[in-house]
Structure 1
């Protein structure tokens, strides 16, 4: 057989037997120029400056260490404005499962610090709030917040 025929069969096979990889719930990944601990501190400081309460911090790497397991530095910071969250929950009470907001700060296999957060557009779609003004502002807020944290002084 010729190379063209083999290539054609390969393309047909791939188009029939491969699936589209589903979109993940994480929309944004930012690489911080700072260390893990400095990035966490900058996030905490920025939230404090904006008078946004931090409700919880989950240090997954510390938890792993306590059970004799290894995990790259990994922390989830949970924060938000009760005023904003309450307005959303008044519209759609079931959105409470998505609130408050959270960011994941972790180190990757290249020892870079990453900041990630959930896809607000996808969350909005799940609750039929795609064009909601509060949702749109939340997405802008999250991107602006993380950009302030990762921008070099």
Structure 2
């Protein structure tokens, strides 16, 4: 498997060893097993098809834990703009499947989080790395 890609934009992208549908299902199972909730799934490719546009498989999974999200919002309430947390599962032009999520550093910088919010953001990123890793690995 390829290495995780992280860049200055605050994104982490992890390649999956699985095709698209099993990757999404494995992600949702890992989220639930970690004690988080899958709040919603947005199938961007299906929505594009309704508009007559072809888009490679792309699904946004919205997830969270009221305990973690509330800790973030107690620090800076406007962080709610970026909650629930999200993982984008997408297939590139070479049919490689990826999972992409935001880093803790990005949330901290974007919202000016203090010590408590930073700790919650770091814990959240740890969970995102865990569930994405489980979904992506063989």
Q: Indicate whether the TM-score tops 0.5.
A: yes
Q: Which has the larger Rg?
A: 1
Q: TM-score range by the shorter chain?
A: 0.7 to 0.9
Give runs of aligned pairs for residues 72-91 of structure 1, distance below 5 A. Answer: 72-91=56-75
Question: Which TM-score applies when normalising by structure 1?
Answer: 0.79
Partner of 1:39: 23
1:121–1:130 CA contact under 8 A, matched in 2:
no
Q: Judge which range, 87-96 or 100-109, deviates more.
A: 87-96
Question: Which TM-score applies when normalising by structure 2?
Answer: 0.87
Partner of 1:62: 46
- How many pairs does the alignment contain? 130
Cα deviation code 1:68-92 (max 9, x no counterpart) = 1100000000000011111211111
Residue 122 of structure 1: which of 93, 106, 109 is its match?
A: 106
Partner of 2:127: 141
Partner of 1:104: 88
Whole-Å separation in 1 of the counterparts to 2:51 and 2:129: 34
Gaps of 5+ in 2: 1-6
Partner of 2:3: none
Whole-Å separation in 2 of the counterparts to 1:60 and 1:127: 27
Structural RMSD (CA)? 1.6
Whole-Å separation in 2 of the counterparts to 1:87 and 1:130: 11
Whole-Å separation in 2 of the counterparts to 1:52 and 1:148: 14
1:57–1:78 CA contact under 8 A, matched in 2:
yes
Gaps of 5+ in 1: 1-21
Larger RCO, structures 1/2 (Cα 8 Å, 6+ apart)? 2
Please state how far the C-alpha of 1:128 moved relative to its aligned partner. 2.2
CA 1:118–1:138 in structure 2 vs 1: closer, same or farther (change >3 Å)? Answer: same
Q: Does residue 9 of structure 2 align to residue 24 of structure 1?
A: yes
Residue 35 of structure 2: which of 42, 45, 51 is its match?
A: 51
